[in-house]
A = this chain, B = another copy of it.
Amino acid sequence: MAKMVDRRQFLKTMALAGVSIAGAGTLVGCSDNTSTDQAQENTGITWQEETDVVVIGSGFAGLAAALEVVEAGFQVKVIEKMPVIGGNSTINGGDVAACGSKMQAEQGIEDSVDLMVSDMLVAGLNYNHVDRVRLLAEKSNETLEWTMNYLGVKYTKLNYHGGHSVLRTHMTENASGSDIIKAASEKLKEKGVSISTNTKFVRLIENEEKRIIGVEVLEGYKFGKDDSGTSKLIKARKAVIMASGGFSQDVKMRQIHEPRLDDRFSSTNHQGATGEALREVLKHGAMDVHMDWIQLGPWTSPDEPGFGYTPQFCERLVGMSPMINVKTGKRFIMETGNRKVRADAIIELGEPCIILGDEYAVKKQVVEKILEGGLANGCIKKYDTLEEIADAYNIPKDAFLAEIKHWNAMVLKGVDEDFGTKLLDGAKPTEQAPFYVARLWPKVHHCMGGLYTNLKGQVINQDFEPIKGLYAAGEIVGGTHGAVRLGGVACTDCLTYGRIAGQEAAKEEAWS
C-alpha cells in the first residue's frame, strides 16, 4: 500500500535532508491538491528568511552588487563566512586601473580603451574573453568615478604596475582596498543593509526548472570548524549572486589544476580564500574556465607572512630600481614585466632575488607607512652602502657594483638597454644613500579561472545557457584576465562586474 504524502512536507523533507530538489517538478503525481501555478510558487520548503537577492561574499564584487540591488529598490542580504568583511579586497594596495580618468588627464597621460584592452590581452596570452575585457575597459573610468562620487573614496596618485603601457592605476588615499570596502559597507549600512559575518554559504537550492531559488547557510559558523554553525534556508526571490572570491588558499584544489603549487608556496590571500563555494556552483552544472591559470605574485617576501608590505615596496620601485640575482650580482628580468614572467623567473633562480631602491626612489615612490611597516617587521632592510648590501646577501661584490654602475648609466639615458624598454619617468641613478632592500619570493595571489558567465553576470551551464537566478562576479569568475592578470585590474573587474551583476539580478523576475 502506498502512503498518502503531502507534497509540501515531502519537499521540505528533501530540502532539509540536503538533497537537491531538481526534478521535483515531476512530483505532481504525488499530490493533486496544488495547481501548477501554486506548485511553482510553493516549493514546500520552510524558509527561515527571505529576501530579493542573496549575495555570497563581502569583497569588492559582493558589496558593489548589493549596493546596486538596494539602489534598484530591492531587498538584499550579504553573507560572509569570515568574522570580518572584505576578504582579499581589504588586504591589497587599493589600486584601481582605469583608462581615460581625470587624474590621467591632469598628468598628461594618454590612454584609451584600446590600449587597456591590448595590455590585458598581451598579458593574458589572448586567453581572455575579449568581450569581457572590452566592456571592463569601457566601464573602468565609470567604475572609478562611482567609487569617488557615490562612495566618496579619494585617490591620491597614479601607480605603475608591470604590463601596463601607461600609468593607469589609481591609488586610494591609504594605499589600501579597505578604503573602498569601508566606504561601501558604510553606504550599505546607510541603506539599512547589514552584512552577516560568520555565515557560511553551504549550497544552492534550485526548483523543478533548475532555477536557483535560495541558499542554505550556516549561521554562527567559525572559520576552520566544519561542524560549527546552524543551518538556515534563505529564500532568494530574484537571485543569488556568487561573489565569494578565488581559491588561492585551497592547496588541494589548486594542486589539481596547477600541480606545482603545493604547500611550499604560501599565499598573499586571506585565510578564507578556499574553493568550496565555487565547487558547489559547479555541482549545479555550471561551466568553469581557465582554472589552471593561478597567479603567483612576484613581489612578495619570504620574510613576512601573507601579502605584507613588500608588494607595495617592490611595485613602486620597478622601472626605477633594479632586481638582482644574488648568485650573479646581475639583473635577470625586466622588472616591469608581467607577474607570470617575473614569478617564473624567480622560481627558476631557485632562491629569492632582491630589489633595491635608493633614498630618492624610495622616498619618491613608496608610501611612508609601507616603508615604516616593512622596516619594522624586517622584510625591508636599510643599508648605507652598496657594499654592505653585497655582504648582507652574499652577492659577488664586483659584479654587483659593476651592474649598478651599468644600470645607472642606462637610467641617465632613460632606456633599459638590457631588455629594450623604457624606464619610468623620473627615474634617477641608484646612488643616494641610504639604500632599502627587500628579498622577493613568489606567493599564490590570484585565480584567473572560475565560473563562465555572460556579460550580464549570469552563470553559464554546460549547455551554454544561463542558470536562471544565478549570477557571479569578482574572482570567482574566469575569463577576464586570461592567463595573467595585470596589477590593479582586479579591483576594477570586481567592482564593475559586481555592479552589473547587482543591476541585472535586480531586474530578474521574482519566482515567488
- Residues of B within 8 Å of A130, CB to CB, are 259
- Residues of B within 8 Å of A146, CB to CB, are none
- Residues of B within 8 Å of A300, CB to CB, are none
User: Residue A264 at the B interface, CB < 8 A?
Assistant: no
Name A's interface SS. loop
Asked whether B279 lies within 8 Å of A282 as measured between CB atoms, the reply is no
Q: A1-B32, A2-B4 are in contact. Are A279 and B462 (CB under 8 A)?
A: yes
- Residues of B within 8 Å of A461, CB to CB, are 283
Asked whether B4 lies within 8 Å of A26 as measured between CB atoms, the reply is no
Chain A 1-43 per-residue mask, 1 if CB under 8 angstroms from chain B, else 0: 1111111001001100101111101110111110000000000
Asked whether A289 lies within 8 Å of B14 as measured between CB atoms, the reply is no
Find residues 449-491 in chain A having any chain B CB closer than 8 Å to their own CB.
452, 461-464
User: Residue A68 at the B interface, CB < 8 A?
Assistant: no
User: Residue A143 at the B interface, CB < 8 A?
Assistant: no
Binds B, one of A290-298, A417-425, A434-442, A501-509: A290-298
- Residues of B within 8 Å of A285, CB to CB, are 282-283
User: Residue A252 at the B interface, CB < 8 A?
Assistant: yes
User: Residue A288 at the B interface, CB < 8 A?
Assistant: yes
Asked whether A23 lies within 8 Å of B26 as measured between CB atoms, the reply is no
Q: How far is the CB of A132 from chain B (nearest CB, A)?
A: 10
User: Residue A189 at the B interface, CB < 8 A?
Assistant: no
- Residues of B within 8 Å of A7, CB to CB, are 2
Asked whether A14 lies within 8 Å of B23 as measured between CB atoms, the reply is yes
Q: A10-B29, A23-B20, A292-B292 are in contact. Are A256 and B2 (CB under 8 A)?
A: no
Find residues 362-417 in chain A having any chain B CB closer than 8 Å to their own CB.
none
Binds B, one of A44-52, A55-63, A102-110, A121-129: A121-129
Interface centre among A10, A13, A17, A292 (most CB of B within 10 A): A292
Complex Cα gap A241–B26 (Å) = 29
Complex Cα gap A7–B127 (Å) = 49
User: Residue A258 at the B interface, CB < 8 A?
Assistant: yes
Q: A5-B29, A30-B30, A259-B129 are in contact. Are A21 and B19 (CB under 8 A)?
A: no
- Residues of B within 8 Å of A3, CB to CB, are 4, 29-32
User: Residue A257 at the B interface, CB < 8 A?
Assistant: yes
Asked whether B289 lies within 8 Å of A2 as measured between CB atoms, the reply is no
User: Residue A225 at the B interface, CB < 8 A?
Assistant: no
Q: A259-B128, A283-B462 are in contact. Are A17 and B26 (CB under 8 A)?
A: yes
User: Residue A287 at the B interface, CB < 8 A?
Assistant: yes
- Residues of B within 8 Å of A279, CB to CB, are 287, 462-463
Interface residue from B1, B26, B282, B292 paired with A289 (Cβ < 8 Å)? B292
Complex Cα gap A462–B252 (Å) = 12
Complex Cα gap A98–B33 (Å) = 67
Asked whether B19 lies within 8 Å of A26 as measured between CB atoms, the reply is yes
Complex Cα gap A241–B287 (Å) = 22
Complex Cα gap A23–B25 (Å) = 13
Q: How far is the CB of A14 from chain B (nearest CB, A)?
A: 5
Q: How far is the CB of A46 from chain B (nearest CB, A)?
A: 16
Complex Cα gap A3–B260 (Å) = 58
Asked whether A33 lies within 8 Å of B259 as measured between CB atoms, the reply is no
Asked whether B256 lies within 8 Å of A452 as measured between CB atoms, the reply is yes
Residue of chain B at shortest CB distance from A25: B19
Q: A22-B23, A26-B14, A285-B283 are in contact. Are A1 and B257 (CB under 8 A)?
A: no
Q: How far is the CB of A244 from chain B (nearest CB, A)?
A: 15
- Residues of B within 8 Å of A20, CB to CB, are 22-23
Interface residue from B2, B6, B19, B287 paired with A23 (Cβ < 8 Å)? B19
Complex Cα gap A260–B27 (Å) = 45
Find residues 250-294 in chain A having any chain B CB closer than 8 Å to their own CB.
252, 256-260, 279-280, 282-283, 285, 287-293
Using A3-B4, A129-B259 as known contacts, list a sample of 19 further A-B pairs with CB atoms less than 8 Å apart, ordered by residue number in A. A2-B7, A3-B29, A5-B5, A10-B29, A13-B26, A13-B29, A17-B26, A22-B22, A23-B23, A128-B259, A130-B259, A256-B289, A257-B289, A279-B287, A279-B462, A282-B285, A283-B461, A288-B291, A291-B291
Pull 19 A–B residue pairs with CB atoms less than 8 Å apart, ordered by A.
Answer: A1-B33, A2-B33, A3-B31, A5-B5, A5-B30, A10-B30, A14-B23, A14-B26, A19-B23, A23-B23, A127-B258, A127-B259, A128-B259, A130-B259, A252-B464, A279-B462, A282-B285, A282-B287, A282-B462
- 8 residue pairs, one from A and one from B, having the closest CB atoms: A19-B23, A279-B462, A2-B4, A283-B285, A2-B31, A14-B26, A282-B462, A126-B260
